Amino acid sequence: MITRFLNLQVFVCVCIFLAMGCGLAPESREAANNEPAVADKPLERFGLLWEAFDVDSGVVASGQSLSHILSPAGMTAGEITLLAQATHSEYDVRNMRSGKSWWIAYDRDSSSSAAHFIYQRNAREYARFSLQKPYQVTLESLPADTLIRRTKGTIENSLYVDLDRLGAPTTLALAMANVYAWTVDFSRLQKGDEFDVMYERTYINGEPMGMPRVIACNFQHRGKELPAFRFDQGEGFDYFDEAGQSLRKAFLKAPVEFSRISSRYNLKRFHPILQKTKAHYGTDYAAPKGTPIISVGDGVVSKSSYTKGNGKYVKIRHNNTYETQYLHMSRRAVSAGERVTQGQVIGYVGSTGLATGPHVCFRFWKNGKQVDHLREEFPPSTPIMYNQMEAFQTTIQELNAAIGSLKVEAK
């Protein structure tokens, strides 16, 4: 049985040559350890020499206030009121919530009096009250550690399942899907696709906080290498390929050229045919019958169909987040399942369905909901600018070197 288990382990390690690393980037290697540095320093906690105190701890119960917690520690009602008053401008103790952790640190001398009260406001922040005069409170944050790791593997199932198998956080799948939202359809990955990703994650007291963040990645999809490098050229972090092209793509502003907007997205619009108030979930572009309608982005036709209201229409899925829909066509030029590119003609303006005149009603879907695309803010898709190119090339070299130096470890 043991032999079999070992064989299985070897099989898993060799065959899948997976891996998840625990190494750190060169600059943080001094603190290199599997655990964040803060866990290695139990002597100090909440800015106190923790070892010097006797500590009581608990969780704020429902309906409990500061006095419920501090009375048993030996403080009188008057002292607690003075404490609350003295610290009010910094932190209002009425903001304490049930379910949050607290600690009371007692002096270890003969007095055994309560010296500090610590209330954990959230995962990161805490308030430390001095329980001896002068009463005061200090608001601070726990030290955060950022670990940089590398995971490498082959798609056997789905990215989510495969990351889990490799011992990497499954939320990394979401982070990677965001990076490649415009280039890879993660619901249609192929067995044999490969990935090698360097990511960072924040830890507080050894607990991971928030999502992992991709620093650099190489995804091999259907035999094609798709490198992604994180870089900030002044608009915040974005991801670029080796040539400095953004991995995001901008949508075209409108699905018809030389048109005019005849009706905007409006949740309280008076419908001209139905003669009643009915939400208008699209933007109408009026144009002569037969004007070509183009896809505002690359994607796959999810519907090419007809309904009484929409008339002849086409719907296109661009990625996991965005879909667009084009209504009232006189003629459709694509069919479901077809791959389309930005600017490709997908149909022609008409007035089929509920329409008073020739126009295209353009519907913009975000996460399954119809939104006003004219009010949407899209992430930047600017390529690396000329004056940033040298810095970007240097970053690529550094990232490639960093990836190469990180260990890829099996689970």
Task: Please give the residue ranges that form the binding site for Zn ion (CB under 5 A).
Answer: 282, 284, 361
Asked if 354 and 311 count as a contact pair (C-beta separation under 8 A), the reply is yes
The CB-nearest residue to Zn ion is: 361
Nearer to Zn ion, 33 or 370 (CB): 370
To the nearest whole angstrom, how small is the minimum distance from the Cβ of residue 237 to Zn ion?
36
Angstrom CA distances, 294 to 36, 153, 264, 269, stand at 52, 39, 19, 26
Cα–Cα distance for residue pair 322/314, rounded to 1 Å: 14
To the nearest whole angstrom, how small is the minimum distance from the Cβ of residue 319 to Zn ion?
24
To the nearest whole angstrom, how small is the minimum distance from the Cβ of residue 255 to Zn ion?
12
To the nearest whole angstrom, how small is the minimum distance from the Cβ of residue 263 to Zn ion?
6
Nearer to Zn ion, 23 or 282 (CB): 282
Nearer to Zn ion, 282 or 297 (CB): 282
Residue ranges of alpha helices (H) inside 45-168 are: 66-70, 77-87, 159-166
To the nearest whole angstrom, how small is the minimum distance from the Cβ of residue 338 to Zn ion?
24
Cβ neighbours for 355, distance < 8 A, ≥ 6 positions apart: 273, 311, 327, 328, 361
Angstrom CA distances, 21 to 25, 221, 384, 393, stand at 11, 22, 30, 25
Helix, strand, coil shares of the chain as percentages rounded to 5? Answer: 25, 35, 40
Cα–Cα distance for residue pair 353/222, rounded to 1 Å: 41
Nearer to Zn ion, 196 or 284 (CB): 284
To the nearest whole angstrom, how small is the minimum distance from the Cβ of residue 357 to Zn ion?
12
Nearer to Zn ion, 22 or 371 (CB): 371
Strands 101-107 and 114-120: antiparallel
Nearer to Zn ion, 68 or 264 (CB): 264
Residue with tokens 């103790």: 93
Asked if 179 and 228 count as a contact pair (C-beta separation under 8 A), the reply is yes
Nearer to Zn ion, 114 or 254 (CB): 254
To the nearest whole angstrom, how small is the minimum distance from the Cβ of residue 295 to Zn ion?
18
Amino acid at 292: P
